[in-house]
Amino acid sequence: MAGVYEGAVQDLIDELGQLPGVGPKSAQRIAFHILSADADVVARLVNALTQVKERVRFCEICGNVSEGPRCRICEDPRRNPTVLCVVEEAKDVVAIERTREFRGRYHVLGGAINPIDGVGPDDLRIRELMTRLADGEVEEVILATDPNIEGEATATYLARLLRGMGIAVSRLASGLPVGGDLEYADEVTLGRAFEGRRRVES
Amino acid sequence: MAGVYEGAVQDLIDELGQLPGVGPKSAQRIAFHILSADADVVARLVNALTQVKERVRFCEICGNVSEGPRCRICEDPRRNPTVLCVVEEAKDVVAIERTREFRGRYHVLGGAINPIDGVGPDDLRIRELMTRLADGEVEEVILATDPNIEGEATATYLARLLRGMGIAVSRLASGLPVGGDLEYADEVTLGRAFEGRRRVES
C-alpha cells in the first residue's frame, strides 16, 4: 500500500502498524479515526504516550511497573513476604492481582528462556531473584510462568536452581478453563486435566 | 480493570481503548509494548499523530484527505473529469485506487444516510456534489457507497436527486467475491449474484 496515501497519513499508518496486534487494516482505520477526531482527543493520547515514557519505570525490588522506585505491592506491608510468585511479565502481575487469590509478593523475570529468540537465563532477572531469596525470608516460590514451552522450560530451570535451598517450589495447576466446553479443549490441556484429576468426596 | 495499574499506565490503556478496533486486552498489550519500547520509537509515533492533525486536511473539491488545499487526484490533469465516483469515506478512495480500474475523479460524502445515528442528507457533502455537477462536464456518476443498508439508501437517494440531469448513473456490481467459496457466501450476496448473472458465450 506504499505511496497510496500522502505523507503524514501514510507515516501514521506505518507507525501504528508497528504496534503489537495492529495489522495494516486496523492501522488505516485508526489513522482515519485520528484524522477526524477532535484535536483534544488526540492531544490526550499523545500526552498519555509521553507521560508513560517519562514517569513509568520498573520497581527496583520486583521488576513490576511503577511510578516510584518501588511498586505499590512491594511497598505494601500487608503483603506476605514469605511467599513469592515468579512471573514472566508485569501484565501477569495484573492478571493474578485480579483473582484476589494471592496475597504474597512478586518477582517479574522480564520474559522466559527462549533459545530461538536468543533469550537465556542471563537475560532474565534471575540473579535478582536469587539475591532476594538469599536472606531466607521466602518460604515458598510459586513458578507462575506461562503454560507454554518457554514458560515450562523457565520453570524447570528455576526449580532446579532452587533445589536444596529449603524453599517449597510450586507450579500453577494446568487443566480445563472454568466455564469452557470440554469438547473445545485442546488435547494437551485435556491430557493435563486427566493427569491432575482430583478425588471427589462421595 | 480500573485501578489495577498505576496512573500513567492506566491512562494510556484508557486512551488506547478509545481507538476503533482496540479492546481492553489489545490496549493493555500496546501499552506494555510502549513501556518497553525505545524512546525514539514512541517519539516517532507521537510525532506521526501530531503531524497528521497539523498537516492533513480535506480537499476543497472532492473531500478526500490532502496535505494541500486540493488532493493529488483533483490536481492530476490526466484524471478523466467526465466520470465521477461517489464514495462514503476517504479510505474508499484508497481501496478503489488500489484496483487501478478507475481513472476518473472522486467525491467523498463523509458518510452515509443513517437515520438511527441521526445522519441525514444535509450532514453529507451532497450540496457540494450538486455544485460540482452543475457545469455539465460530468457525464457519468458511479455511486460506490457501501453495499449495506445505509450505503444502499444513500445511493437510492442520490440516484433520485440526479434523475433528469442527463447524467448516466451507475452502481457497483454486487456478487460473489473473487477467490471466495460459494458455500461461504451469505444468502443476500448469493441472491445478488444470481440476479446479476451474465451470459457466457458458448
Q: What is the pLDDT of residues B42-71, one digit of tens each?
A: 999 999 999 999 999 899 999 999 989 999
Claim to verify: residue B119 and residue B129 sit in the same structural domain: yes
**pLDDT given at position A2:** 45
In a domain, A181, yes or no: yes
Torsion angle defined by CA atoms of residues A188, A192, A193 and A199, in that order, rounded to the nearest 10 degrees = 160
A79 band by pLDDT with thresholds 50, 70 and 90: very high
Q: Is B4 on the interface with A (CB under 8 A)?
A: yes
CATH number at residue A150: 3.40.1360.10
**pLDDT given at position A119:** 94
Question: What is the mean predicted confidence (pLDDT) over A3-32?
Answer: 88
Of residues B178 and B78, more confidence is placed in B78
Asked whether residue B1 carries a pLDDT value surpassing 50, the answer given is no
DSSP single-letter state for residue A170: E
B189 band by pLDDT with thresholds 50, 70 and 90: confident
Which three cell numbers mark B184? Answer: 461461504
Asked whether residue A3 carries a pLDDT value surpassing 60, the answer given is no
**Could you give the percent of chain B with pLDDT greater than 70?**
96
In a domain, B60, yes or no: no
In a domain, A22, yes or no: yes
Claim to verify: residue B123 and residue B95 sit in the same structural domain: yes
**pLDDT given at position A194:** 76
B198 band by pLDDT with thresholds 50, 70 and 90: confident
Which residue of A lies nearest to B46 if distances are taken between CA atoms? A46
Claim to verify: residue B118 and residue B188 sit in the same structural domain: no
Query: What is the residue-wise DSSP string for chain B?
Result: -TTSS-HHHHHHHHHHHTSTT--HHHHHHHHHHHHHS-HHHHHHHHHHHHHHHHH-EE-TTT--EESSSS-HHHH-TTS-TTEEEEESSHHHHHHHHHHT---SEEEE-SS--BGGGTB-GGGTTHHHHHHHHTTS---EEEE---SSHHHHHHHHHHHHHHTTSS-EEEEPPP-PPTT--GGGS-HHHHHHHHHT--PPP-
Spatial neighbors of A16 by CB under 8 A, at least 6 apart, are A22, A26, A27, A30, A31, B45, B48
What are residue A141's DSSP bridge partners? Answer: A84, A169
Classify the C-alpha dihedral A20-A21-A25-A28 as positive or negative: negative
In a domain, A194, yes or no: yes
Asked if A32 lies within 8 A of B94 by C-beta distance, the reply is no
Asked if B15 lies within 8 A of A94 by C-beta distance, the reply is no
Q: Closest Cα to residue A156, out of A198, A113, A191?
A: A113
Question: What is the mean predicted confidence (pLDDT) over A6-33?
Answer: 91
Question: What is the mean predicted confidence (pLDDT) over B119-126?
Answer: 95
**pLDDT given at position B201:** 64
For residue range A139-172, what is the model confidence (pLDDT) as tens digits?
999 999 888 899 999 999 999 999 989 999 988 8
Contacts of A15 in chain B (CB under 8 A): 44-45, 48
State pTM to two decimals: 0.71
Claim to verify: residue B176 and residue B165 sit in the same structural domain: no
Asked if B52 lies within 8 A of A33 by C-beta distance, the reply is no
Average pLDDT, chain A: 88
Claim to verify: residue B97 and residue B147 sit in the same structural domain: yes
Claim to verify: residue A85 and residue A165 sit in the same structural domain: yes
In a domain, B13, yes or no: yes
DSSP single-letter state for residue A83: E
In a domain, A29, yes or no: yes
Claim to verify: residue A106 and residue A26 sit in the same structural domain: no
Question: What is the mean predicted confidence (pLDDT) over B80-106?
Answer: 90
CATH number at residue B28: 1.10.8.420
**pLDDT given at position A99:** 82
**pLDDT given at position A45:** 94
Asked whether residue A81 carries a pLDDT value surpassing 80, the answer given is yes
Asked whether residue A184 carries a pLDDT value surpassing 90, the answer given is no
Q: Is B74 on the interface with A (CB under 8 A)?
A: no
Distance of alpha carbon B112 from its chain centroid, rounded? Answer: 10
CA distance B151 to chain A (A): 18
In a domain, B182, yes or no: yes
**Could you give the percent of chain B with pLDDT greater than 90?**
58
Asked if A56 lies within 8 A of B11 by C-beta distance, the reply is no
In a domain, B18, yes or no: yes
Q: Is B32 on the interface with A (CB under 8 A)?
A: yes
Domain range for A188 is 172-201
For residue range A102-134, what is the model confidence (pLDDT) as tens digits?
899 999 999 999 999 999 999 999 999 999 999
Distance CA B91, CA B110 (A): 10
ipTM for this model:
0.72
B186 band by pLDDT with thresholds 50, 70 and 90: confident
Which three cell numbers mark A97? Answer: 492481582
Claim to verify: residue B140 and residue B190 sit in the same structural domain: no
**pLDDT given at position A156:** 93
Q: Which of B9, B42, B56 sits opposite A35 (nearest CB)?
A: B56
Which residue of A lies nearest to B45 if distances are taken between CA atoms? A15
Q: Is B90 on the interface with A (CB under 8 A)?
A: yes
Of residues A149 and B99, more confidence is placed in A149
Claim to verify: residue B158 and residue B86 sit in the same structural domain: yes
Claim to verify: residue B178 and residue B126 sit in the same structural domain: no
How many domains is chain B built from? 3
Claim to verify: residue B82 and residue B27 sit in the same structural domain: no
Which three cell numbers mark A102? Answer: 494471592
Claim to verify: residue A184 and residue A165 sit in the same structural domain: no
Asked if B46 lies within 8 A of A49 by C-beta distance, the reply is yes
B200 band by pLDDT with thresholds 50, 70 and 90: low
B4 band by pLDDT with thresholds 50, 70 and 90: low
